[in-house]
Amino acid sequence: MRIGFYNIQGGTGKTTISGNIAYYLSSKAKTLYIDCDIYAGTGSLLFGFEDTPYTLNSYLSGNLDINDIIHNYDELDVIISDTSPNSFNTDLNQRRMVDLIYELNNKYDIIIIDLPPNIVEGSLLFSSLNLDEKIVNKMIVIGEDSIPGVINTIKTKELLYAIDIDCIGVVLNKNRNIVEFEGILEDIIAVLPYEITVEDQWIKGEPVVLARNKFSKELSNLAEDLAEIYIKKDLASTRALKVAKDLKDTKSNIKK
């Protein structure tokens, strides 16, 4: 199962939420977090990997293999983008990026894909149009509590609909009770409060989801809901397939 986190708007909390959800889920299932923002990625800072040269950018430039760029943070596997200005030398090779994700798809129960906000040509988001291969099975839209935030969230949902990407729902982040969003956005799956201590994660280089504050509590609840729906279901079907295959193998052995 590949779940993407997206909004056409920058700074809404995509990296914060996707990175922390990935960390939370990693104790329940084999999980990979990929920071796909190759020009402005900050996922590395969340996990303290900002100094490593083993990045998605190096892989895209053809210098490294897939296994070289997978880092471990506790039980979570992490692929990060280059935070340095060298990242601008990277060619956004959509084919190579999609191949990477499809190859890793079989190795993980869940892949969390942190997408960049832009909608430039060549963006991973449009792989379904250009390559006929969807980068994600499902998308979660991260919107922020502000007038521009709600407008861009509505636009994002329209865009996803237009390119036929399934949307699980909207996470309303940085809630400060600015917009009466309930009447405007129908499919809100979580509301996360504005919480200044969220910034600590960049200083400490570790996810905040286990901290004791309202933001982390609400985020854990969301991760729990996602685990319940997507991991259990996915694992159940994987197990069903395995049982069926074993049964088939036993039957063919009996015939022999």
Ligand X SMILES: Nc1ncnc2c1ncn2[C@@H]1O[C@H](COP(=O)(O)OP(=O)(O)OP(=O)(O)O)[C@@H](O)[C@H]1O
Residues of this chain that interact with ligand X (CB under 6 A) are 10-16, 37, 40, 42, 117, 173-174, 192, 194-195, 198-199, 215
| Integer Cα distance of 173 and 47 in angstroms | 21
For the CB of residue 114, give the shortest distance to Mg ion in the complex, in Å: 6
CA distances from 244 to 105, 134, 241, 247 (A): 21, 28, 5, 5
For the CB of residue 188, give the shortest distance to ligand X in the complex, in Å: 15
- Which residue in the set 7, 9, 15, 31 belongs to the binding site for Mg ion (CB under 5 A)? 15
Cβ nearer to ligand X, comparing 15 with 57? 15
* DSSP one-letter code for 35: E
Does residue 174 belong to the site contacting Mg ion (CB under 5 A)?
no
Stretch that binds Mg ion, among 14-22, 61-69, 179-187, 210-218 (CB under 5 A): 14-22
Cβ nearer to Mg ion, comparing 62 with 148? 148
Cβ nearer to ligand X, comparing 48 with 235? 48
Ranges of beta strands (E only) in 124-211 are: 138-144, 167-175, 188-193
For the CB of residue 67, give the shortest distance to ligand X in the complex, in Å: 26
Sheet holding 31-35, edge to edge: 71-73, 76-79, 31-35, 110-114, 2-6, 138-144, 167-175, 188-193
Does residue 16 belong to the site contacting Mg ion (CB under 5 A)?
no
Does residue 14 belong to the site contacting Mg ion (CB under 5 A)?
yes
Backbone angles phi, psi at 46, to 5 degrees: -65, -30
| Integer Cα distance of 127 and 125 in angstroms | 6
Residue 153: contacted member of ligand X, Mg ion, none (CB under 5 to 8 Å, by partner type): none
Query: Under the rule (CB under 5 A), what is the footprint of Mg ion?
Result: 14-15
